A and B are shown apart, each in its own frame.
Chain A
Amino acid sequence: MQATEAVKLLLGIGEPLIGRLLTYDALGMRFREVRLRRDPNCPLCGSHPTIKDLSIHHDGGAACAITPNGREAAVATSARA
């Protein structure tokens, strides 16, 4: 799916998965599509961004940004298996 999307985007053809999340459940063999909207409060791409560079990532992944509405929005301490 990622390869097909990549080829479409490189060629500028079709309808890419922008603003749509496609989920795949192999056991049930079902696909589902969820509409995604831009979050106006997003600390990166919202109307009042607080993340303007990558400095938030400099503390080895432990850094957090507090968004205007008080939400914690940042880098995870890694959740590795």
Chain B
Amino acid sequence: MSKHCGRQSIRFENPIAIITSASTVGPKEGEGPLAEYFDTILPDSLCGEDSWEKAESKIVKDTFEAAIAKSKIPIENIDYVISGDLLNQNSGSTFAIRNFSIPFWGIFGACSTFGEGISLGAIMIDGGFANNILVGASSHFCASEKQFRFPLELGTQRTPTSTWTVTGQGSIILSNDIRENCPRITAITTGKVIDMGITDVNNMGAAMAPAAFDTIYNHFTDLAIGPEYYDLIITGDLGYVGHDLVLQMFGEKNIDLEKNYSDCGMLIFDKNSQGTNSGGSGCACSAVTFAGYLYKKLQQHQLNKILFVPTGALMSQISAQQGETIPGIAYAVAIENL
């Protein structure tokens, strides 16, 4: 039987176990609605370092180490690290693991990086190319603002459609060693780069929503299932605006997603008290929401089947200044308690 289903999906022969998760978040996320689910909440965004970029690497390093320690797998038995972030040249990840001595795949999928990493890791394990793989993604509010937007202390206003980059890192370990009470990855759908002509860098939700819709729709088609198959379908960082657009697009296809569709960017902050406008964003938004909140809900069997869909806006500061439109991408990962 072919593992490849339809145009974009893969159904795994031996669903891959997610044997552990670890999450670290910054102080603002620690004041948000999901605070109790995170392993570590940092008292300050600098994390004892002298720059935002160094702080991000420190967060990545510490969270990876926490995941390895929790899994009780000796570090030499971890075959690969797959990691990515938003800093130029993926330095958040590479600088963090320079002393790890584990073979490394650096990936970039903007804020969808975590979904891309899980997908690649699952393929490698199901294919027999690895036994244990450490996957993570990170972002840092201050470092992202510095790289993509304005200096922190500049007195500007944020538009209602803008999102707030999540500070933190989420790590998981994928394995073919099936332990008790481990959620399993049963299928993935790899997204296409989709550009619907959005140019507003302060409306990333709108730029990414068509990609999320396309990936989820093709996931249903390829696997011949409907939204009712899942307890929860959750996108990465579309925020309130993107979430609403995805619902409208499914509505046009007469598919009802209202009952079980949410977005990590809507869950991680309280938009009324935290001033985060359309919601959370960044690689860490989906990564920490999964590694913290969703993974625990799966282990507690409060959720048993979820479709996790990290989303990314594939623009750079240069492309935006040159007037380019913003392409989006989304990776769907089906995770179930078997």
A, B in one complex: no
Interface residues of A (CB under 8 A from B): none
